[in-house]
């Protein structure tokens, strides 16, 4: 270490990712943080903003930052030996990029660090850069330093998720991974340039076990990101991106048949336009999308439409330990502004390990497998981030709600699990019914056959199985109405579908303590999607109280107001 504190130089320290890394580590008193970039003025401005009170020390700024912060000018094209000797860092983190555009002397920063006995890590997402850093392995080992490349979402986090799921398999045949940024996150210009550099151009992938050519931002797959127990992201198309995983996965997995890494942005209409532009590059009507990087960035900022949520997935397919077909997926959803911290959490974990005296092995290598999923999940707890693994065995028949909830099923209280255990069953109890007084509310209630208002009525619910559907017949006193429920397919995957005549309501099942909330995520009329803001909804949940199943169902909307609310309890007969 340099003196009594650990000196960390962040190249691109005031940028989109370097800045967030500085925020995560700013409260650490054992650190000397050097915020570096070509512009000393921008580095100074960033530190001034970081020191300003924002109601949250450390990652959000505050007055109790414990690290020694210093703005420095650093030019990667300048005299690296002089600059590094003068600044004397213990660790250099390159958070600049875009690494895809590095051509001449791509590893000059890494080489300079090795020559000066300085440890190195980066957030590179360039396949060529990350996959080939091992060429410097012997030099790094001889000098007693490490150089880790790609300590970011892809490949460090994606490989951590892969390693966590691998024990379920006897053979892994396919791997797909993707990132879905929130539309409200301001994407940095370097990120846009990195993607534009290969848009419409060949990207090496595996297909049927052989090397093949995909095309950046053209090849696609549809995925619904849905961590167990969380409301899923909207189903979306992911477009192929060139990520280090595509080169590293065949090295890790013998017999691998197919690979894919993608990005799925909202609004999807804007992504389709970008894909169309990539096709012009493929047809050689445009040489590259790089000159349009600023335009693409401006459009992404201008059309920030959709939920302020982002996510990530890693999906494996193959055979389980008994030789049965198995699909396994790790899903992550980040709320609000927390998503952009994910790419730097790996570096933060590395720094904290170094402060505790735990060093990685010396040598230069990709960071794939360097950290475990547990390392990342421990850091996720400080954020509004939910993640988890789903197992899908084709031959395994599970109750409807258990299939949708995945591992979150285990968190249900016993009374709720019993009600949703599947098969033919009858539950009886008591209920209170309230009805809306508006004309439209009364009309809707009449059409669907909802019961009249009552302070205390007997209730019977009959559950019947019809293939992969559950038919619910609810009787309140002498008034009955019926609906059926099933697991959503295709773009509605991981949602509960409830059908009332021509109306189809899409619901997310979200465990919350002793409650299971049912959150409306969409609705359709004769298969035609309708605006979500007009969807029927309300405060609807199930809970266990005193060992008994209780329900609270509220149906209403902007146009109708309250239509019906029924609350009460049930117990299974027999």
One-character DSSP codes across 469-523 = EEEEEEEETTEEEEEEEEE--GGGTTSEEEEETTEEEEEEEEEETTEEEEEEEEE
Binned at pLDDT 50, 70 and 90, residue 540 comes out as very high
Give the chain's mean pLDDT.
Answer: 93
Q: Compute the distance between CA of residue 457 and CA of residue 479 in angstroms, rounded to an integer.
A: 10
Segment 475-481 shows an average pLDDT of 92
Tens digit of pLDDT for each residue in 146-158?
Answer: 999 999 999 999 9
Segment 9-34 shows an average pLDDT of 95
Give the DSSP H/E element, type plus range, for residue 404: helix 400-405
Structure confidence at residue 55 (pLDDT): 37
Give the strand pairing for 454-466 and 425-435.
Answer: antiparallel
pLDDT at 3 over 80: no
Cβ(404)–Cβ(509) below 8 Å? yes
Structure confidence at residue 397 (pLDDT): 79
Segment 135-152 shows an average pLDDT of 97
Q: Which of 360, 344, 352, 385 is nearest to 157 (CA)?
A: 344
- SS3 assignment, position 386: strand
Give the strand pairing for 528-529 and 309-320.
Answer: unpaired
Segment 375-382 shows an average pLDDT of 94
Segment 547-570 shows an average pLDDT of 94
Structure confidence at residue 64 (pLDDT): 59
Segment 70-89 shows an average pLDDT of 96
b/e map of 186-198 (b: 16 or more CB within 10 Å)? ebbbbbbbbbbbb
Structure confidence at residue 60 (pLDDT): 44
Structure confidence at residue 1 (pLDDT): 47
The interaxial angle of helices 158-165 and 373-380, nearest 10 deg, is: 120
- CA 348 → CA 110, 153, 253, distances in Å? 19, 13, 28
Structure confidence at residue 4 (pLDDT): 66
Please provide the distance, in angstroms rounded to a whole number, between the alpha carbons at the two ends of the chain: 70
Tens digit of pLDDT for each residue in 211-249?
Answer: 999 999 999 999 999 999 999 999 999 999 999 999 999
Strands (E), 137-245: 146-149, 169-180, 202-207, 210-215, 220-223, 236-240
pLDDT at 343 over 90: yes
Segment 96-116 shows an average pLDDT of 84
Q: Which of 88-102, 191-205, 425-439 has the lowest mean pLDDT?
A: 88-102
Structure confidence at residue 103 (pLDDT): 64
Q: Is 209 left (phi over 0), alpha (psi -120 to 50) or beta?
A: left
Structure confidence at residue 225 (pLDDT): 97
Q: Compute the distance between CA of residue 424 and CA of residue 54 in angstroms, rounded to an integer.
A: 56
Q: Compute the distance between CA of residue 90 and CA of residue 84 in angstroms, rounded to an integer.
A: 10
Q: Compute the distance between CA of residue 552 and CA of residue 539 in angstroms, rounded to an integer.
A: 7
Q: Compute the distance between CA of residue 125 and CA of residue 242 in angstroms, rounded to an integer.
A: 8
Q: Which of 217, 257, 261 is nearest to 239 (CA)?
A: 217
Largest CA distance in the chain: 87
Q: What angle do CA 353, 357, 361 make, to 5 degrees?
A: 75
pLDDT at 69 over 60: yes
Segment 563-573 shows an average pLDDT of 95
pLDDT at 528 over 50: yes
Positive or negative: CA dihedral 177, 180, 185, 186: positive
**Cα-trace Rg, the chain:** 27
Structure confidence at residue 394 (pLDDT): 67
Q: Compute the distance between CA of residue 237 and CA of residue 235 in angstroms, rounded to an integer.
A: 7
Positive or negative: CA dihedral 86, 88, 92, 95: negative
Segment 107-111 shows an average pLDDT of 95
Give the pair of three-digit tokens for residue 519: 């959150």
Binned at pLDDT 50, 70 and 90, residue 58 comes out as very low
pLDDT at 80 over 70: yes
Q: Which of 305-309, 445-449, 484-488 has the lowest mean pLDDT?
A: 445-449
Tens digit of pLDDT for each residue in 491-517?
Answer: 999 999 999 989 999 999 999 988 999
- CA 397 → CA 26, 124, 403, 491, 560, distances in Å? 50, 43, 9, 22, 39
Structure confidence at residue 99 (pLDDT): 79
Binned at pLDDT 50, 70 and 90, residue 475 comes out as very high
Segment 191-201 shows an average pLDDT of 91
Q: pTM of the entire structure?
A: 0.88
Please provide the DSSP assignment of 269-299 as one string.
Answer: HHHHHHHHHHHHHHTTSSS-SGGGHHHHHHH
Q: What angle do CA 66, 72, 76 make, to 5 degrees?
A: 125
Tens digit of pLDDT for each residue in 155-190?
Answer: 999 999 999 999 999 999 999 999 999 999 888 888
Give the pair of three-digit tokens for residue 65: 């930052």
Segment 258-265 shows an average pLDDT of 97
**Burial of 466 per CB tally in 10 Å (0-12, 13-18, 19+):** exposed
Q: Compute the distance between CA of residue 372 and CA of residue 314 in angstroms, rounded to an integer.
A: 14
Q: Compute the distance between CA of residue 350 and CA of residue 361 in angstroms, rounded to an integer.
A: 12
- SS3 assignment, position 215: strand
Structure confidence at residue 396 (pLDDT): 66
Give the DSSP H/E element, type plus range, for residue 6: strand 6-11
Q: Compute the distance between CA of residue 567 and CA of residue 432 in angstroms, rounded to an integer.
A: 5
Binned at pLDDT 50, 70 and 90, residue 344 comes out as very high
pLDDT at 429 over 70: yes
Binned at pLDDT 50, 70 and 90, residue 67 comes out as very high
Structure confidence at residue 574 (pLDDT): 75
């Amino acid at each position: 270490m340099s003196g009594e504190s650990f000196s960390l130089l962040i190249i691109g320290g005031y940028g989109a990712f370097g800045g967030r890394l500085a925020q995560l580590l700013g409260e650490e008193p054992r650190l000397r943080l050097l915020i570096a970039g070509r512009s000393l003025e921008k580095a100074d401005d960033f530190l001034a903003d970081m020191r300003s009170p924002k109601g949250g020390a450390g990652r959000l700024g505050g007055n109790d930052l414990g690290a020694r912060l210093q703005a420095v000018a650093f030019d990667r094209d300048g005299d690296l030996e002089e600059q590094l000797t003068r600044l004397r860092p213990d660790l250099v983190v390159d958070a600049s990029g875009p690494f895809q555009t590095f051509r001449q002397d791509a590893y000059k920063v890494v080489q300079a660090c090795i020559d000066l006995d300085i440890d190195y890590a980066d957030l590179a997402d360039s396949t060529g850069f990350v996959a080939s850093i091992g060429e410097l392995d012997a030099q790094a080992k001889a000098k007693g330093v490490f150089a880790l490349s790609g300590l970011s979402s892809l490949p460090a986090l994606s490989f951590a998720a892969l390693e966590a799921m691998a024990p379920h398999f006897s053979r892994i045949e396919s791997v797909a991974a993707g990132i879905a940024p929130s539309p409200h996150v301001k994407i940095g210009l370097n990120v846009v340039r990195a993607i534009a550099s290969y848009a419409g151009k060949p990207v090496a992938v595996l297909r049927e076990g052989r090397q093949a050519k995909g095309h950046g931002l053209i090849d696609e797959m549809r995925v619904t990101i849905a961590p167990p127990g969380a409301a899923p992201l909207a189903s979306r198309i992911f477009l192929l991106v060139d990520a280090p995983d595509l080169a590293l996965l065949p090295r890790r997995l013998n017999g691998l048949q197919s690979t894919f890494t993608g990005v799925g942005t909202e609004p999807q209409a804007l992504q389709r336009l970008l894909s169309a532009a990539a096709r012009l590059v493929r047809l050689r009507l445009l040489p590259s999308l790089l000159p349009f990087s600023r335009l693409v960035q401006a459009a992404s900022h201008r059309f920030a439409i959709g939920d302020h949520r982002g996510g990530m997935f890693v999906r494996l397919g193959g055979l389980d330990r008994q030789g049965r077909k198995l699909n396994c997926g790790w899903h992550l959803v980040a709320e609000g502004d927390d998503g952009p911290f994910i790419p730097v959490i790996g570096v933060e974990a590395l720094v904290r390990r170094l402060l505790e005296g735990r060093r990685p092995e010396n040598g230069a290598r990709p960071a794939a497998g360097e950290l475990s999923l547990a390392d990342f999940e421990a850091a996720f707890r400080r954020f509004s981030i939910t993640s988890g693994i789903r197992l899908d065995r084709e031959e395994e028949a599970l109750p409807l709600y258990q299939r949708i909830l995945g591992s979150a099923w285990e968190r249900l209280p016993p009374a709720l699990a019993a009600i949703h255990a599947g098969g033919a069953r009858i539950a009886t109890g008591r209920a209170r019914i309230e009805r809306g007084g508006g004309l439209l509310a009364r009309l809707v209630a009449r059409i669907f056959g909802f019961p009249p208002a009552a302070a205390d009525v007997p209730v019977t619910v009959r559950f019947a199985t019809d293939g992969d559907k559950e038919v619910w017949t609810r009787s309140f006193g002498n008034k009955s109405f019926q609906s059926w429920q099933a697991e959503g397919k295709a773009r509605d995957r991981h949602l509960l579908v409830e059908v009332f005549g021509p109306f189809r309501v899409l619901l997310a099942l979200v465990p919350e303590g002793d409650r299971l909330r049912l959150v409306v995520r969409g609705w359709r009329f004769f298969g035609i999607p309708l605006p979500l803001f007009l969807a029927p909804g309300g405060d609807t949940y199930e809970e266990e109280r005193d060992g008994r199943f209780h329900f609270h169902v509220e149906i209403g909307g902007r146009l109708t107001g309250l239509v019906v609310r029924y609350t009460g309890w049930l117990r299974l007969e027999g």
